[in-house]
Structure 1
Amino acid sequence: MPPITASILYALVECPHRIWLDAMEDPAKRDTVSPFVELLWERGSKFERETMQGLGLPFLDLSAFPTEQKERETLAAMQRGEPLIYGGRISHGDLVGQPDLLRREGAGYVAGDIKSGSGEETTDTDDGKPKKHYAVQLALYTDILAKLSLSAGRQAFVWDIHGDEVPYAFDAPQGPRTPETLWQFYARSLATARLILAGQEKTLPAAASVCKLCHWYSTCREVIRTSDDLTQIPELGRTKRDVMIDRIATVADLAAINPEGFLKGKMTVFDKIGPDTLRKFQERARLLKAKDGKPYLTKPVRLPVSDRELHFDIEADPLRDHIYLHGFVVRDRGTDTQFTAFVAEQPTPEAEKQAFAEAIAFFRTSPGAAVYVYSPYERTTYRKLQQRYPDVVPADEIEALFDDSKTVDLYRIVKSSTEWPTWDHSIKTLAKFLGFAWRDTNPSGAASIEWYDRFVETGDRVTLQRILDYNEDDCRAMIVLLDAIRGMA
């Protein structure tokens, strides 16, 4: 059995089947690594180097040593009491870790990683909480330190893209609704990884949003299709599939059942799946299996009537925490359309602010227009930009702009009021189902980020135009979807 590493635990949090495939499947079946994933690797390495070069503190650099010597040097350095060690290696039993940092605190050491992203998960309603895929990596290092009698306690840290040190306290509950500690989550993940790699726990592929950047995407998608896996149904993910699979194994099986036969009092026989959810999944299964399944409304929807519509989409680089494009397709009186975009051509605060200010000015030229987006992301992002550049626009204007009377989130309508014979509800999937085609052969937000990075490095205007075309197509896809929803009525 291969050793348990931080990368294995990171992958496990996203997809247990991936670590089985990495260990057991023929590597020749892997997809080519996408340019965006390569960019992530490059950005991570570059940010790590820049962070250490600009640290301004003495540290012991072990990053260049070969593997076996690196581990010997790391242990010797900790025994000497070096205050800060970079690029070390530690192991115990079947656990192997290469923490970016080992910092002496008291009589022991705490581990840290340098991340080219935010150290916490953040939402509109949450100030931030530790990321589970970071937590299992850091907990592995902490576990090894404890087994070596070199730990300063169950704690670790991340140095993130914002220049913040984010603490990870493993013995604290994850939240009021999740009493399990991060250490308990790590222990559970470690046990699962050992069972999978020993061939004692069966794993299955599952359709999920994280799959699209995985090197096993094509392999898993084909297995899911040919096995008629339940995760083809939108919102029926791995966890729900696993509690249903012994009694309902395929989409065809689910399409054929009478949901009332699986009720148990006010619940169903499936843990954490209520009657209404089961009925919804059964209807989606029937729609997927219908010969000529067509989307339909599940309840009436109210859409604004306006002579002008603004179909609005943002392009962002989360690795730089930078918004680089605000795109609009303007439709007047339901027919004439034009594309307008405001671009931050350099990844600087000044360029970001200028593009934001131009977009706000553009909104102000059409005060009576109905605005359409596809997700709450634009609202969340504009709130952050307003806080970042408060002299551009007051907060109450942003709230008024994204009020439900002004801006329509088509994704919310799709989820709440429609059903589709598709695997998911992404704008790409739905617009393609309706016959829309993107001009680019590889249209995705991830690809756009990689194109922007290339444009910043080279100044190539052809690459910039590729980004603009992609954003325009995203906006036009919203028009196709809006018209289809109107047509369902």
Structure 2
Amino acid sequence: MPALNPNLDLNDIYRRFTDGDRSGAVRAGWVERYLDSPVSFWCSLHAPSAARDPMNDQQQHIFDIGNTHQDRVNALLYPGGIQEVFTSEEDGFRRSLEVMAEGGVYIKDMPLVCWPNGLTGRPDVLERVDGVPSVFGDYSYRVVEIKSARRLRESQILQGALYNRVLGLVQGYEPPIFQMVNGDSGIVPVDMADVDHRLDEVLAEVREIMGGKPVDFCYGAARWPWMSYVDSQAVAANDVSLIVGVGATVRSNLVAAGYATLQSIAEANETELVTVRRVGAATAKKMVISARAIQGNQPLPRGELAVLRRGRTEVFFDFEGAQEQEQDGGLELVNYLIGAIHRTPGGEARYKPFFAETFDDEDANLTAFLQWAGSLDDPVFYHWHSYERTHLEKMVDRYGVDPVLAAGVLDRLEDLSPWATKGFAFPAYGESLKDIAKCLGFKWRQDDVTGVGTMSLYMRYVDSGSADQTAKGKIIIYNEDDCLATMYIYDWVMAQ
């Protein structure tokens, strides 16, 4: 046990750091939220609370992954951490001070506050470091922040940096290094000197937003729970960001040049549009046609369609995946369902699902699909975007699948996404399967199921020991509709 400071006056420390107005304090989580989506952060402070999106399957799944990862990391690396219930932030801070003064080894999710400096936060873990003195004795604490992402974002690192700064003020010693734990449960040290200046910049920007500085409502820029609100504001303003590919930076350049609305782009002269920074000739042409398609609410041809491989059997297929928690704490994506709509000229389109009853059945399920695919007469496998090819190649490599068997599908893949979107501008605000199919009139049968939501449904099914047939049925219907939507777009384009 390290030596405690016998002259420590906890009441004095508590008074010094809780003296002041807490209303203007920046919370560490706000740093991450602001950097990930400034408009979402603005909304959390200034938008009507009734405009928040409700919790959905996708967001709940993300929360569940993060919480599960944090619990596993705590159990593996920081066992026995002290975490207590508190009635207010000040009450929790007082208890944090008491535990630190007692030399607790690990302190979990307890508040640190510094009202005079306008900073507060609750680090995932405070870890005792012996031999490095602080106001508490011949030991001090360091911040450990746990994230489920394998690649740490700047926003996450700066959140940890703010915790480290507050900790330094409270204990009278700022550790030169704090630690992040990533999605692979790897410890990543961060040098405070490398992020100190950037943290100051971000804190100043956050305080401007807190003070009411307006933000631009850029379509697609918000995160839950403000996506619907921000997107609706952009639609109401007929904002230029409604055009696919116009993100925040390009939007700013366009607005500065006088192109703030969809209509202004639809009516623009392409030779003038290319004078805008980061807008080349090809981009200008694409933007103008896209704007006209949306304004007129009808698809418009962009140019000649690329040649698409054809076969005697057409297969429209789609994967569904879920993340399995591995023993080492990592997350492995398992593609548990391969659904396929198949048809021959003049024949009826039929749906065939290949469903893995457990995470461990992915290998056998893949083999069953490939063997079935090999039995088809001159097939071509159509899919939307790159997910299917990427993950099919990964699974083939992971399980050492016979190259000849795998080639029967891999050599016959056709991605319909670039083929369709380079050939036509669609009256949609995105180019996902759902964006394009819906604007052409296709409807999914289930409003309460999303792609990420099927992950939760599958885990529910597995946890039930294959008894929850309702969950399985919802997944199957969702996957079949994705396959049908892919075929729907294909048929529409071929009919033009």
TM-score normalised according to structure 1 size: 0.82
Q: Which residue does the alignment assign to 1:102?
A: 126
Between the aligned partners of 1:395 and 1:95, the Cα distance in structure 2 is 58
Compute the displacement of 1:385 (Å): 2.7
Please state if 1:196 is matched with 2:209. Answer: yes
Please state if 1:165 is matched with 2:186. Answer: yes
Q: Identify the match of residue 315 of structure 2 among 291, 306, 310.
A: 310
Q: Identify the match of residue 434 of structure 2 among 412, 421, 428.
A: 428
Deviations 1:127-157 (A, max 9, x none): xxx2344333223223333444544324421
TM-aligned CA distance change 1:365 to 1:82, over 3 Å = farther
1:308 and 1:332 in contact (8 A); partners too: yes
Compute the displacement of 1:94 (Å): 2.2
Compute the displacement of 1:462 (Å): 1.9
1:135 and 1:186 in contact (8 A); partners too: no
- The 3-state SS of whatever aligns with 1:305 is coil
Please state if 1:61 is matched with 2:69. Answer: no
Q: Which residue does the alignment assign to 2:271?
A: 260
Between the aligned partners of 2:24 and 2:372, the Cα distance in structure 1 is 57
Q: Which residue does the alignment assign to 2:176?
A: 153
The 5 Å alignment of 1:12-23 reads 12-23=34-45
Q: Identify the match of residue 269 of structure 1 among 276, 295, 306.
A: 276
Between the aligned partners of 1:401 and 1:18, the Cα distance in structure 2 is 42
1:62 and 1:74 in contact (8 A); partners too: no
Q: Identify the match of residue 111 of structure 1 among 134, 137, 143.
A: 143
Between the aligned partners of 1:280 and 1:185, the Cα distance in structure 2 is 37
Compute the displacement of 1:215 (Å): 2.4
TM-aligned CA distance change 1:142 to 1:57, over 3 Å = closer
Compute the displacement of 1:187 (Å): 4.5
Uncovered stretches (5+) of structure 2, i.e. residues with no partner: 1-22, 133-139, 326-332
Q: Which residue does the alignment assign to 2:448?
A: 442
TM-aligned CA distance change 1:63 to 1:309, over 3 Å = farther
- The 3-state SS of whatever aligns with 2:447 is coil
- The alignment of Structure 1 onto Structure 2 pairs a total of residues equal to 452
Compute the displacement of 1:483 (Å): 1.7
Q: Identify the match of residue 371 of structure 2 among 354, 361, 367.
A: 361
Specify the code of the residue in structure 2 equivalent to 1:477.
A
Q: Identify the match of residue 473 of structure 2 among 455, 460, 465.
A: 465
Specify the code of the residue in structure 2 equivalent to 1:99.
P
Sequence identity percentage: 23
Compute the displacement of 1:11 (Å): 2.5
1:101 and 1:111 in contact (8 A); partners too: yes
- The 3-state SS of whatever aligns with 1:112 is strand
TM-aligned CA distance change 1:395 to 1:91, over 3 Å = farther
Compute the displacement of 1:234 (Å): 0.7
Q: Which residue does the alignment assign to 2:389?
A: 379
Between the aligned partners of 1:433 and 1:132, the Cα distance in structure 2 is 36
1:431 and 1:481 in contact (8 A); partners too: yes
- The 3-state SS of whatever aligns with 1:60 is coil
1:324 and 1:352 in contact (8 A); partners too: yes
1:139 and 1:170 in contact (8 A); partners too: no
Compute the displacement of 1:79 (Å): 5.7
Please state if 1:301 is matched with 2:301. Answer: no
2:113 and 2:119 in contact (8 A); partners too: yes
Between the aligned partners of 2:307 and 2:229, the Cα distance in structure 1 is 41
Please state if 1:236 is matched with 2:246. Answer: yes
- The 3-state SS of whatever aligns with 2:35 is helix
Q: Identify the match of residue 483 of structure 1 among 481, 491, 494.
A: 491
Deviations 1:249-291 (A, max 9, x none): 111112122132344xxxx233x3334323321222122222x
Kindly name which structure, 1 or 2, has the bigger radius of gyration based on alpha carbons: 2
Between the aligned partners of 1:357 and 1:83, the Cα distance in structure 2 is 50
- The 3-state SS of whatever aligns with 2:311 is coil
Q: Identify the match of residue 354 of structure 2 among 316, 319, 342.
A: 342
Between the aligned partners of 2:141 and 2:396, the Cα distance in structure 1 is 41
Compute the displacement of 1:183 (Å): 6.0
Q: Which residue does the alignment assign to 1:175?
A: none
TM-aligned CA distance change 1:398 to 1:146, over 3 Å = farther
CA RMSD, 1 decimal: 3.0
2:314 and 2:379 in contact (8 A); partners too: yes
